[in-house]
Chain A
């Protein structure tokens, strides 16, 4: 019988939540790396027992961890992230030139085919890869050296590369997103990149339709239809049907189009999930009601999902990497909150149950569906 492993990164360690395919009873393992910030951990699609974790601290910097047994045991691997060449400058918050400085790894994306190969999205924004299981890291510097690089500017959370999507049908195609530069795509395995932000409108920018500068919060795709992308931007939920060449807004009837997460149903490429957040300063749900919104039409028409979620006095946030889906026949949806809850739905969002309620603030949620 299939089982599910949920990988949770928090402000104070990692947790691994296990259940069988029924997803009713859960065992909580952890904390791993107690006291450290775990921005992200993720398993290899090619070997589910191979996990990678980003472990960081304001005191001790960035370290990396690897597990070969599904998270039972871990060992540190390489943590040297050196920009290729002289890094140059990007824009600081006030528009002045600011040198690129490595701060932390936000997102890990293991290769679809090779457990030893993993990509890392970092702050200040750059893409690294390791082909030896995380022992050594090299920058795919064509991204940072894109001609638009000097115009990139940090969002409120820093200038982070937070989204990495690997196209399963085209091995050289990778999508990434940076806050606040926008989305980019390579078709040659990371050597050259192009901004893919046409159609994004960001009213807070001097030129709202500029090629770069957009605060993209997250991007999701369905692996069976990788040219269709869904984006939660700082404001606006967007959709692209041409691999990011153009975007259209699909916020539709959402009560607010601000938010962080976006994800796609495992078996229904037109079913999309977001969690609307009241504003870009308050960062909590509207009216104190935690609601996931689901569209079965690829956007524009959204329905609130509330069963099992707190509908009063709830003032948590759901951060950009804190939603995931499993691949069981009846798709499970999971998200974590800054209040330390991890909610699960075993029926595509109709009903929700907290797996755990009192973890440290959740930074990321990933799900592995195990045979």
Chain B
């Protein structure tokens, strides 16, 4: 949904351990300015929850941590460029961006 200042409200679903770290709900609503890209959503997420910096993207490279995945509208966006526009359904808030921890190990 586009707000009066041109921002969009994007829904983001966090994995359990990041929710507990950020003391956040499972699903968040983030105001994202400009084109709704993965980078813009993650920037907005980390600005609101600074303790998530470094837990989704590596500090040094800015790249996704290896055991995390991004899904939107049932598609895997993990290997898409960070500056690619997310689907309109995510930008409009009809569908969430899912951040998922790999099901691996103990």
Residues on A facing B (Cβ under 8 Å): 33-36, 57-63, 76, 79-80, 82, 102
Residues of the B chain whose Cβ atoms lie less than 8 Å from the Cβ of A62: 54
Residues of the B chain whose Cβ atoms lie less than 8 Å from the Cβ of A82: 59-60
Are A60 and B55 closer than 8 Å at their CB atoms? yes
Shortest Cβ distance from residue A268 to the other chain B in the assembled complex, whole angstroms: 41
Are B54 and A61 closer than 8 Å at their CB atoms? yes
Residues of the A chain whose Cβ atoms lie less than 8 Å from the Cβ of B58: 61
Q: Known contacts A34-B20, A82-B60: does B51 contact A59 (CB below 8 Å)?
A: no
Q: Which of B16, B55, B65, B102 contacts A63 (CB 8 A)?
A: B55
Q: Which of A33, A36, A59, A80 contacts B54 (CB 8 A)?
A: A80
Are B51 and A76 closer than 8 Å at their CB atoms? yes
Contact-residue bracket for chain B: 20 to 34
CB-CB contacts below 8 Å: B54-69 with A: 54-56, 58-60, 65, 67-68
Residues of the A chain whose Cβ atoms lie less than 8 Å from the Cβ of B17: 35-36, 57, 59-60
The number of inter-chain residue pairs (CB within 8 angstroms) is: 45
Question: In the complex the two chains form, what is the Cα distance from A59 to B101 in whole Å?
Answer: 7
Question: In the complex the two chains form, what is the Cα distance from A35 to B16 in whole Å?
Answer: 10
Are B65 and A60 closer than 8 Å at their CB atoms? yes
Residues of the A chain whose Cβ atoms lie less than 8 Å from the Cβ of B68: 59-60
Is B53 in the interface zone, CB < 8 Å from A? Answer: yes
Are B67 and A58 closer than 8 Å at their CB atoms? yes
CB-CB contacts below 8 Å: B2-57 with A: 15-18, 20-21, 51, 53-56
Shortest Cβ distance from residue A38 to the other chain B in the assembled complex, whole angstroms: 13
Residues of the A chain whose Cβ atoms lie less than 8 Å from the Cβ of B105: 58
Interface centre among A33, A35, A58, A102 (most CB of B within 10 A): A58
Residues of the A chain whose Cβ atoms lie less than 8 Å from the Cβ of B55: 60-61, 63, 79
Shortest Cβ distance from residue A310 to the other chain B in the assembled complex, whole angstroms: 25
Are B53 and A60 closer than 8 Å at their CB atoms? no
Q: Which of A33, A61, A80 contacts B65 (CB 8 A)?
A: A61
Shortest Cβ distance from residue B98 to the other chain A in the assembled complex, whole angstroms: 15
Are B54 and A63 closer than 8 Å at their CB atoms? yes
Shortest Cβ distance from residue A87 to the other chain B in the assembled complex, whole angstroms: 10
Shortest Cβ distance from residue A88 to the other chain B in the assembled complex, whole angstroms: 15
Question: In the complex the two chains form, what is the Cα distance from A61 to B16 in whole Å?
Answer: 15
Interface centre among A33, A60, A79, A82 (most CB of B within 10 A): A60
Q: Known contacts A34-B20, A36-B17, A76-B21: does B51 contact A60 (CB below 8 Å)?
A: no
Are A60 and B18 closer than 8 Å at their CB atoms? yes
Which residue of A has the minimal Cβ distance to B102?
Answer: A59
Residues of the B chain whose Cβ atoms lie less than 8 Å from the Cβ of A58: 67, 105
Which residue of B has the minimal Cβ distance to A11?
Answer: B106
Q: Known contacts A79-B53, A79-B54, A80-B54: does B21 contact A60 (CB below 8 Å)?
A: yes
Are B51 and A63 closer than 8 Å at their CB atoms? yes
Residues of the A chain whose Cβ atoms lie less than 8 Å from the Cβ of B18: 60
Shortest Cβ distance from residue A123 to the other chain B in the assembled complex, whole angstroms: 15
Residues of the B chain whose Cβ atoms lie less than 8 Å from the Cβ of A36: 17
Beyond the given pairs A36-B17, A61-B58, 12 more chain A to chain B contacts, judged by CB atoms under 8 angstroms and listed by A's residue number, are A34-B20, A35-B17, A58-B105, A59-B17, A59-B68, A60-B18, A60-B55, A61-B54, A63-B21, A76-B21, A79-B51, A82-B60
Question: In the complex the two chains form, what is the Cα distance from A57 to B60 in whole Å?
Answer: 17
Instruction: Sort A-B residue pairs by CB-CB distance and give the 10 closest, nearest first.
Output: A76-B51, A60-B55, A59-B67, A59-B101, A79-B54, A80-B59, A61-B54, A61-B55, A35-B17, A60-B17
Residues of the A chain whose Cβ atoms lie less than 8 Å from the Cβ of B15: 59
Provide a sorted-by-A list of 11 A–B residue pairs whose CB atoms are within 8 angstroms.
A36-B17, A57-B17, A58-B67, A58-B105, A59-B15, A59-B17, A60-B68, A61-B55, A63-B21, A63-B51, A76-B21
Question: In the complex the two chains form, what is the Cα distance from A59 to B102 in whole Å?
Answer: 8
Residues of the B chain whose Cβ atoms lie less than 8 Å from the Cβ of A57: 17
Question: In the complex the two chains form, what is the Cα distance from A59 to B69 in whole Å?
Answer: 10
Shortest Cβ distance from residue B102 to the other chain A in the assembled complex, whole angstroms: 7
Residues of the B chain whose Cβ atoms lie less than 8 Å from the Cβ of A79: 51, 53-55
Residues of the B chain whose Cβ atoms lie less than 8 Å from the Cβ of A61: 54-55, 58, 65
Shortest Cβ distance from residue A262 to the other chain B in the assembled complex, whole angstroms: 29
Residues of the B chain whose Cβ atoms lie less than 8 Å from the Cβ of A34: 20
Which residue of B has the minimal Cβ distance to A34?
Answer: B20
Shortest Cβ distance from residue A154 to the other chain B in the assembled complex, whole angstroms: 19
